Amino acid sequence: DTGVSQDPRHKITKRGQNVTFRCDPISEHNRLYWYRQTLGQGPEFLTYFQNEAQLEKSRLLSDRFSAERPKGSFSTLEIQRTEQGDSAMYLCASSLGQGGPQHFGDGTRLSIL
């Protein structure tokens, strides 16, 4: 069990650029979640996959955001035309089964210049 892995750890980009983050969940976990966390706040739910199906998306996930989980393994979160307000820590978590505890990755910190 190598835990949830996220890449990159840090991303600095100019406003208007596109960015893509990757999350590799714990291998036997069928559920994968993306959250956004700003300084001093709790994580905010963005979206959730069960296997390859995206089952729920938050209203926070504007049309500039898209997430995929091809083949039900790793997932990517893409932000197009980044804005200052997108600066945050993006957390990925995975779990197994209903009510299973979520295991978090270290997160990707996004800074928009």
Partner 1 sequence: AQTVTQSQPEMSVQEAETVTLSCTYDTSESDYYLFWYKQPPSRQMILVIRQEAYKQQNATENRFSVNFQKAAKSFSLKISDSQLGDAAMYFCAYSGGYQKVTFGTGTKLQVIP
Chain residues in the site for partner 1 (CB under 8 A): 31, 33, 35, 40-45, 48, 50, 55-56, 91, 93, 95, 98-99, 101-107
Nearer to partner 1, 19 or 49 (CB): 49
Q: Which is closer to partner 1, CB of 17 or CB of 38?
A: 38
Using the minimum distance from each CB to partner 1, give the nearer residue, 40 or 70: 40
Nearest distance from residue 18's CB to partner 1, in Å? 26
Calpha distance 72→47 (Å, rounded) = 14
Sequence-ordered list of residues with C-beta below 8 angstroms from that of 4, at least 6 positions apart, any chain: 23, 24, 25, 26, 92, 93, 94, 103, 104, 105
Question: What are the C-alpha distances in Å from 74 to residues 7, 85, 92, 108?
Answer: 11, 26, 10, 15
Min CB(70)–partner 1 separation in Å: 20
Closest CB 31 distance from partner 1, rounded Å: 6
- Cα gap 84→99, rounded to integer Å: 35
Residue nearer to partner 1 on the CB measure, 56 or 78: 56
